[in-house]
Structure 1
Amino acid sequence: MMENLFHHSGFLESIKQHVRKFPTKTAVVDISNPQSITMSYQELQETAETIAANLLAKGLQKGEAVAYQLPSGWQFIVITMGIWYAGGVPCPLLPSLREREVRFILDRSQARIYIYPDTYRNFDYSQLAHSLEDKFADLQFFCIPQSEQIPALSSLAGLADPLDHEYHLQPHAPTLDSIAQLLFTSGTTGEPKGALHTFSTLSYALFRHTQTLRLSYQDVIWVPSPLAHQTGFLYGMMLSLFLGATGVYHAAWHVEKAKQAIEKEGATFVQAAMPFLSDITHMSEPPQGLRIFVATGAAIPRQLADLAKQKLACKIVGAWGSTETCLVTVGHPDDPVEKLWGTDGRVMEGMSIRVVDENGQVLPPGTEGNFQVKTPAMFIGYLHRPDLYEAALTKDGYFDTGDLAIVDEDGFIKISGRKKDIINRGGEKIPVAEIENLLYTHPSIADAALVAMPDLRLGERACLFVVGKEDSQPLKLEDITGFLQQQGVAKIYWPERLEWIAEMPRTASGKIQKYLLRQRLQEKSLDA
């Protein structure tokens, strides 16, 4: 079966097989707007091929990145497929990113095409695009009106227009070793890193995932996670297309859309961050029909898992993965609940995990240590940063996740902490070092430390501790967020609480002792 899946380009070949086998089957249901939009596998294929031809006509070269900042939905999907068919590399950007992050990614990716919406969630992307024109003289801009939501009427900024002459796509077709994805992480080391995956690595990830969870073309995949995030991109969009299943998408999160996806559109499977699980579980009338919910981003609290199982009447399993490694551990639907809840599952077949000490020695079960993984689904490098790639891998090829973990005697993994200084806000990792460095440029701030504070819904939120400069006026939270907005920082990275302190706790070597700041937050919450 592995050979059948992996001949030619694996994932893309599977789509073509689905088009031949059931061309009229619904591939995409976009419920973003009051009137749902559907596309069959044949319509998806034909539109994607037209987009590919137009991209080639615009000068796209084989292996070249295309940057696009679109909401989740049918437009995102056909453009991604069009980029693949033209031999390009999809480089999706979260719609929540602003000028600072977009500039960095365009510069690092060297993309010469940038596709964006006119407006989305009250933000004018045309102004953002205009601000980029001075730095990127060779960049081609394509603005897709969000009012053109029906595929038959939308030209996708001309990218879906028929061409006067035929373009033969076969010479541009990617192979198994071609780059299939360029995703930028949120910058845990001070700058975003562009992780590169091939069709081989992503196809392997999908194969193991579908086998482990026993997914098939009969499932309906609900995709509430942003498609520009690995969870939505790989374990939503690509998973659905790989299976030949129907995918249900919506651009913005809302519990009523969730209910519609599950009860009206028949969704049976979803993989998403824990806040999504919490929100639908706590609805007055939780939706019924899901078969499996894979919760990522943090181990599922026992209380939430028990309530979700009762309210949703489906299997709730935890999982661990990353942009670089894809999913490595996951709970099996038939695992005992005492193992499923409070852990991130077990390693999938064909992959390897270990917990080691600072010297790289494997630790016995039940001992906390550095969490490392090795898998054929692993990324092949960071774009233009071979130094970071080399630093992330051990001599024997394991990826050091930066997490601390414990593996029990039955092989279940529990992430216990992080070596990397990051804040995981509902599955989105906040680039702490980058935000702190910006805050140090504020005229009223002498010292700043961004730390995680526990949150029942999102897992963590960001709290900013500040030491003010002498004779400066105390700042309010809105002053801080306004400053970050002026710097072009995305709202999802802004602190949501501000604490003024006289002095930062530091080690003898001068490092801020953030655990003391987190302890201070915990004590305040207990006193409240």
Structure 2
Amino acid sequence: MEFDAVLIEPRRASSAANGWWPGRTINDCLDACVAECPDKVALTAVQIEDGVTTRFTYREMASTADRIAVGLARLGVGRNDVVSMQLPNSWQFVLTYLACSRIGAVLNPIMHIFRERELSFMLGHSGSKVMIVPKRFRGFDFEQMMNGLKPSLPELEHIIAVGGLVDGSPSANSFEALLSGPCWEAEPDAREILTRSRPGPDDITQLLYTSGTTGEPKGVMHTANTLMSNILPYAEAMRLGPDDVVLMASPMAHQTGFMYGLLMPIALRASAVVQDVWQPKAAIGLIVGEGATFTMASTAFLTDLANAVADTGAAVSSLRTFLCAGAPIPGALVERARNAIGAKIVSAWGMTEMGAVTLTRLDDDDERSFSTDGLPLPGVEVKVVDDGGEMLPSNVTGRLLVRSCSGFAGYLKRAHLNGIDADGWFDTGDLAYIDERGYIRISGRSKDVIIRGGENIPVVEIEALLYRHPAVSQVAVVAYPDERLGERACAVVVPKPGEQIDLMALVEFLKSRKVAPQYMPERLVVLDAMPTTPSGKIQKFRLREMLRERDA
């Protein structure tokens, strides 16, 4: 694979000169951990449904990553080959990324909610050579799904299943038989394999697909420098260090889990605890049992944890900070969570393209966490402009532009969509204002995406599918507020003459198109006609207002 990382070279000199790009890869960080704290517990991976907990010291983590890396090389994986992975939070997820980094392969994490439709595009677009899935997870057979897809993906050479067993023994294509079982690291050529293709800090290390407005996902490319230049100031702002224990229940196939649950603990020589299925009472047990001090998740997780602590009366005194991102935090939730959990609630805003952009500070009043989305991190600039590109004064809403040291390397095979101007400003597609103290507040989105519990719903794609329903004349998918998840999706439909439609019919139609469950509309409004502009464009702001009025 040739990666068109066109956004790296123009920034390299200035980013290094300003000290923003540290020039360290995850290999450097892991090697330092092995040298300085080899017997410290690096990772505790908890499988909620199976009740299995697996621990690795830094020495064990590095050794097992080497083993998996040589195993991947035996399968023909080399420098710049894409390894896709649709795993929940697990030790296999963490160590496979470290293994890819040993041999210069690029990891493509994919959310486990995706099914045939999304996977066909992502795996085909990225040219993935290997796809790693759980044999089964939450009742779904991922291996069977992938076996059905493989004939349409000519570049996909291997499907590897975690937990694949035949008569109690690992199957031939299992993770255990191919990667984690054999002592590959002891082979005579192992050292040469592990050192010949190690990536540099400006090589692509991660490919992560994000939903956009074009109707298909975009492959966001990141390097060690773009990732680390965000993680290190983020950790400093949160006062995190080697003595911290990071709990991560947010999916590591999202940038939240990947950057702050996988990379950050290793960069800090700290410890990570990863949870594969979100259960708030289980999270309480992990906070208490493992001494977790920090976590990051969406508003829905904070709501659930605060309610569970209040219901059980459990004390989670070790947890100092809960960083909440993905949707605005209601003021009542901040107060309730502070009283129940005792941790500082921090608000943040960011994007797959650049990680966290703004954070409230630990010394800020609690009010800042629910009335703002924080201040820019070091190495990050933000500005709000009008439609003509002119700067707007404080407290006036406009288009939010960001120029960040952690900005991505570009969209794979979609350089024309990179959205970076000649001065390095990225159009986020969000509407915001900046108050008189420099704090930003996201006030809407010009891009047509709904964020449900931190998960972006690709509205254009869902609408395009619904337009194929035989009873639908017009359709618009819009957000409506939800206390727990932030937003949910409502389908507003004008039926064809003489036709009737209900929500169940729409959902079943989308299921037949293999759409992820989290993307389904959860509400239906039927209208005789859509509100439109004189040119006939549907006025979605009017639909959102209508929903708010109905709810009121």
User: Normalising to structure 1: TM-score of the pair?
Assistant: 0.95
Are positions 1:213 and 2:238 aligned together? yes
1:115 aligned partner: 132
Deviation at 1:6, TM superposition (A): 6.4
Deviation at 1:166, TM superposition (A): 2.5
Matches within 5 A, 1:84-483: 84-139=101-156, 140-145=158-163, 156-160=176-180, 161-163=182-184, 164-167=187-190, 168=192, 169-283=194-308, 284=311, 285=313, 287-288=315-316, 289-389=318-418, 392-472=419-499, 474-483=500-509
The AA in structure 1 aligned to 2:516 is A
- Which structure 1 segments of 5+ residues have no match? none
Matches within 5 A, 1:62-77: 62-77=79-94
Are positions 1:9 and 2:9 aligned together? no
State the Cα deviation string for residues 30-81 of structure 1 (Å, max 9, x = none).
Answer: 1224232111111111111111111111111211211111111111111111
2-structure distance, mates of 1:132, 1:232: 27
| Kept in 2: contact 1:321–1:328 (CA 8 A) | yes
| Kept in 1: contact 2:358–2:377 (CA 8 A) | yes
2-structure distance, mates of 1:5, 1:192: 29
Q: Measured at CA, do residues 185 and 157 of structure 1 come closer, stay the same or move farther in structure 2, by a change above 3 Å? A: farther
| Kept in 1: contact 2:245–2:273 (CA 8 A) | yes
1-structure distance, mates of 2:390, 2:546: 34
Aligned alpha-carbon RMSD (Å): 2.0
State the Cα deviation string for residues 450-504 of structure 1 (Å, max 9, x = none).
Answer: 00011000010001111112233x2332221111111111111111111111111
Aligned residues: 519
The AA in structure 2 aligned to 1:400 is D
| Kept in 1: contact 2:326–2:451 (CA 8 A) | yes
2-structure distance, mates of 1:356, 1:155: 50
2-structure distance, mates of 1:497, 1:56: 48
2:520 aligned partner: 494
- Which one of the candidate residues 5, 23, 29 is aligned to 2:44? 29
| Kept in 1: contact 2:532–2:538 (CA 8 A) | yes
| Kept in 2: contact 1:5–1:14 (CA 8 A) | no
SS in structure 1 of the partner of residue 551 of structure 2: helix
1-structure distance, mates of 2:509, 2:60: 46
SS in structure 2 of the partner of residue 339 of structure 1: helix
State the Cα deviation string for residues 280-317 of structure 1 (Å, max 9, x = none).
Answer: 11121355121111110123221111111111111111
Most deviating of 160-169 and 191-200: 160-169
1-structure distance, mates of 2:368, 2:133: 44
2:6 aligned partner: none
Deviation at 1:105, TM superposition (A): 0.4
The AA in structure 1 aligned to 2:351 is S
SS in structure 1 of the partner of residue 465 of structure 2: helix
SS in structure 2 of the partner of residue 278 of structure 1: helix
SS in structure 2 of the partner of residue 134 of structure 1: helix
Runs (4+) off by over 6 Å = 2-7, 146-149
| Kept in 1: contact 2:21–2:405 (CA 8 A) | no
Deviation at 1:441, TM superposition (A): 1.0
2:34 aligned partner: 19
| Kept in 2: contact 1:187–1:434 (CA 8 A) | no
Deviation at 1:126, TM superposition (A): 2.0
Q: Measured at CA, do residues 5 and 55 of structure 1 come closer, stay the same or move farther in structure 2, by a change above 3 Å? A: farther
| Kept in 2: contact 1:115–1:144 (CA 8 A) | yes
Quick one: percent identity of the two aligned structures? 39
Deviation at 1:165, TM superposition (A): 4.0
Q: Measured at CA, do residues 247 and 437 of structure 1 come closer, stay the same or move farther in structure 2, by a change above 3 Å? A: same
| Kept in 1: contact 2:161–2:175 (CA 8 A) | no
| Kept in 2: contact 1:11–1:199 (CA 8 A) | yes
- Which structure 2 segments of 5+ residues have no match? 1-15
1-structure distance, mates of 2:543, 2:399: 23
- Which one of the candidate residues 498, 501, 506 is aligned to 2:532? 506
2-structure distance, mates of 1:437, 1:182: 26
2-structure distance, mates of 1:244, 1:454: 39
- Which one of the candidate residues 34, 41, 55 is aligned to 1:38? 55
Q: Measured at CA, do residues 318 and 147 of structure 1 come closer, stay the same or move farther in structure 2, by a change above 3 Å? A: farther
The AA in structure 1 aligned to 2:24 is S
2-structure distance, mates of 1:11, 1:138: 27
SS in structure 2 of the partner of residue 72 of structure 1: coil
Most deviating of 428-437 and 8-17: 8-17
1-structure distance, mates of 2:51, 2:124: 37
The AA in structure 2 aligned to 1:195 is V
Deviation at 1:146, TM superposition (A): 6.8
1-structure distance, mates of 2:493, 2:144: 33
2-structure distance, mates of 1:425, 1:34: 28
| Kept in 1: contact 2:328–2:486 (CA 8 A) | no
Most deviating of 294-303 and 427-436: 294-303
2-structure distance, mates of 1:121, 1:128: 14
- Which one of the candidate residues 73, 90, 98 is aligned to 1:81? 98
The AA in structure 2 aligned to 1:513 is Q
2-structure distance, mates of 1:128, 1:198: 31
